[in-house]
Structure 1
Amino acid sequence: MPVLPGALRGITIIVGLIGITILGGIPLVPASIIKLVLPAGRARNRANAALLGIAKTWARSANGLILGVSGTRLHYQQQMADDPDGRYVLISNHQCWADVMLLIKAIDPRLPFPRFFIKEQLRWLPVIGLACWALDFPFMKRHSRAAIEKNPSLRNDDMHTVRRACEVFRRQPVSLVNYAEGTRSTPAKRAAANSPYRTMLPPKAGGTAFAVNAMRDVLDGILDMTVAYIDTPEPKFWDLLCGRIPEVAVRVRYLAVPAELADGDYGADPEYRDRFKTWLGDLWAGKDTEVAAIQDPKNPRRTFKDLSAGVHHA
């Protein structure tokens, strides 16, 4: 395929993604209706399997288009054994919209297909919203601090959402993804949050803790994913689509649930809550140091430390 100019690459990918999404919506709608009307049981499980197959086909097609046209190379480092049938909570940093697609590309099919904590507003997007509902994505309301102060009962909305979702995922393989920062990290957001990190926002422990607590008896562990855009301090999705970000490094590693976090109630136990926040903050500090080094054009670092497992390229 001839190399296209940058903006033309981006436009080509966007048009292609729209087409792939429309085509994916054709089987998605009837499969979702079947799931809606069927009672729990074998038939509904088959509908779920069909929906998951549609989602995987869409994601693989979309990633093939994005990486094929943009020319971006993905350096993927997996520091654990393949386990597509496991149940995991996956935490990751979040810098631009490309993170979502790169995450799916990195772990599928080696690890369970991901489900994301997503904003309630995305429920109403054509095709995408239906797909998220059909795949049991947890829709998070994320009330503002002012709204919670006015109505304290709102504080528990997202906790109940996580618990309901985890009841579903207890019965199937899953990588339940939580972008712990709650939003994409940008210089303006880091300044507004007075972030102590160079590339990340302070992590919010609640979503991760609620998921770990709700699934603790079936959880196979935590997946720690870190994404770094090589030599690109401030990555943007459009720049990646246009081929202006030639390389991205992604690491996934297995973390056992620490013993001090294995038992406790994040919502009711202040000491447990402090321990969880400390653990996540320490993890975040290490991730930030590595991402900052890889994304610094003046630094020779090109990948993550601890090359204890194979490195895959895409």
Structure 2
Amino acid sequence: MRALFGHLRGVTAVTGLVAVTLLGGIPLVPASIIKLALPQGRARNLATAAVLGIAKTWARTANAIILGVSGTRLTYQQLMADDPNGRYVLISNHQCWADVMLLIAAIDPQLPFPRYFIKEQLRWLPVVGLAAWALDFPFMKRHSREQLEKNPELRDEDMNTVRRACAVFRDLPVSLVNYAEGTRSTPAKRAAADSPYQTLLPPKAGGTAFAINAMQEVLDGILDMSVAYVDTPDPQFWDLLCGRIPQVAIRVRYLEVPVDLAKGDYVNDPDYRQRFKAWLNDIWAGKDADVTAIQNPDDPARSFADRPEPEPPRRG
């Protein structure tokens, strides 16, 4: 009976999400088309604000459905002052599709509304793809290592995508989200990558470095987000919708951009690249310890407040 009730919860949540997405598409489609047709200037900025307002309303409604139907409790620890008008690069771990929505639920409205680095293929999703396009999400090609070795010029393609996106965000409040692992962390993917971490995949530093470099003149800092599914070593979005994950813990802390890492040539400067990787790996090691403890049913930790205060990352 409990399993049946859980499935009914999941179906109800999915039905609600589909309905609110379709309803949100009614004002979103014309607003996005108008925005994309306008030249740079005041009129385009007003259209962007309209699209952003629709996106915020959709996200808040969708999160109310997800958390209300599932009964999941979200605990949020913010180790910095509110700053809705700042410009930040946000780095986070990524374990399931719920991460994307819960990130918005956690930081909106006290921190800038997020834009995401997302895969090129998602551009063609109905409604969602159009919204991402109109909100200037950077669409990344995600070239494989083999492709990059055969054609090193492909590195410049993603770097130029980041530069174009960041040129837009230099004039707008933003939390530019980079899931540094590049994909969702699962036991199978960690094994395939020979990950040194218990819960996380090794971070790919290039996207974070490109974003920091592109925005370095206006960047207010880095938001380091950690997401943990309490007592759930292998979280799944469907399990959350069905009410099988009672609590999700999220922490955001502010990091200053290290002076020696704020500007550099990640592609052509091996020393800069190694220093940046070392800095990001140090962040990831601390994040992995905290997330692993909270997701371990045998560990008493239930939130990030139950863990030691994180230390600033060491310089590379």
TM-score under structure 1 normalisation? 0.95
Residues 89-114 of structure 1 deviation map (CA, whole Å, 9 limit, x = unaligned):
00000000000000000000010000
Q: Counterparts in 2 of 1:153-192, with a 5 A limit?
A: 153-192=153-192
Residues 147-185 of structure 1 deviation map (CA, whole Å, 9 limit, x = unaligned):
223322212211111111000000100000000000000
* Structure with greater contact order relative to length (CA < 8 Å, sep ≥ 6): 1
Q: Counterparts in 2 of 1:200-219, with a 5 A limit?
A: 200-219=200-219
Q: 1:243 to 1:220 in 2, by over 3 A?
A: same
**Which of 79-88 and 151-160 deviates more?**
151-160
Q: 1:150 to 1:264 in 2, by over 3 A?
A: closer
TM-superposed CA distance for 1:306, in Å, is: 5.3
Letter of the aligned partner of 1:244 in structure 2? R
SS in 1 for 2:253: strand
What residue in structure 2 maps to residue 109 of structure 1?
A: 109
Q: How many residue pairs end up in the alignment?
A: 305
SS in 1 for 2:175: strand
Which blocks of at least 5 consecutive residues in structure 1 are unaligned? 309-314
Letter of the aligned partner of 2:204 in structure 1? K
What residue in structure 1 maps to residue 239 of structure 2?
A: 239
What residue in structure 2 maps to residue 250 of structure 1?
A: 250
Letter of the aligned partner of 1:134 in structure 2? A
What residue in structure 2 maps to residue 125 of structure 1?
A: 125
Letter of the aligned partner of 2:159 in structure 1? M
TM-superposed CA distance for 1:33, in Å, is: 1.4
Residues 238-288 of structure 1 deviation map (CA, whole Å, 9 limit, x = unaligned):
000000000010000000011221232212221111110000001100000
Following the alignment from structure 2 to structure 1, what is the Cα–Cα distance between the partners of residues 158 and 38? 27
Letter of the aligned partner of 1:185 in structure 2? S
What residue in structure 2 maps to residue 99 of structure 1?
A: 99
TM-superposed CA distance for 1:60, in Å, is: 0.1
Contact 1:87–1:173, Cα closer than 8 Å, also in 2: yes
Which blocks of at least 5 consecutive residues in structure 2 are unaligned? 311-316
Following the alignment from structure 2 to structure 1, what is the Cα–Cα distance between the partners of residues 232 and 108? 25
What residue in structure 1 maps to residue 19 of structure 2?
A: 19
Q: Counterparts in 2 of 1:1-314, with a 5 A limit?
A: 5-304=5-304, 305=307
Following the alignment from structure 1 to structure 2, what is the Cα–Cα distance between the partners of residues 201 and 109? 29
Following the alignment from structure 1 to structure 2, what is the Cα–Cα distance between the partners of residues 59 and 232? 25
Residues 50-96 of structure 1 deviation map (CA, whole Å, 9 limit, x = unaligned):
00000000000000000000000000000000000000000000000
Contact 1:77–1:307, Cα closer than 8 Å, also in 2: no
SS in 1 for 2:226: strand
TM-superposed CA distance for 1:146, in Å, is: 2.4
Following the alignment from structure 1 to structure 2, what is the Cα–Cα distance between the partners of residues 260 and 150? 31
TM-superposed CA distance for 1:295, in Å, is: 0.5
Letter of the aligned partner of 2:272 in structure 1? Y
TM-superposed CA distance for 1:307, in Å, is: 6.7
What residue in structure 1 maps to residue 314 of structure 2?
A: none
Following the alignment from structure 1 to structure 2, what is the Cα–Cα distance between the partners of residues 119 and 252? 24
Letter of the aligned partner of 1:227 in structure 2? V
**Which of 203-212 and 38-47 deviates more?**
38-47
Following the alignment from structure 2 to structure 1, what is the Cα–Cα distance between the partners of residues 178 and 124? 21
Following the alignment from structure 2 to structure 1, what is the Cα–Cα distance between the partners of residues 77 and 308? 9
TM-superposed CA distance for 1:221, in Å, is: 0.2
TM-superposed CA distance for 1:133, in Å, is: 0.1
Following the alignment from structure 2 to structure 1, what is the Cα–Cα distance between the partners of residues 309 and 66? 27
Letter of the aligned partner of 2:278 in structure 1? T
SS in 2 for 1:250: strand
Letter of the aligned partner of 1:271 in structure 2? D
TM-superposed CA distance for 1:117, in Å, is: 0.2
Following the alignment from structure 1 to structure 2, what is the Cα–Cα distance between the partners of residues 146 and 283? 27
**Which of 25-34 and 53-62 deviates more?**
25-34
Following the alignment from structure 2 to structure 1, what is the Cα–Cα distance between the partners of residues 98 and 227? 10
Contact 1:76–1:250, Cα closer than 8 Å, also in 2: yes
What residue in structure 2 maps to residue 312 of structure 1?
A: none
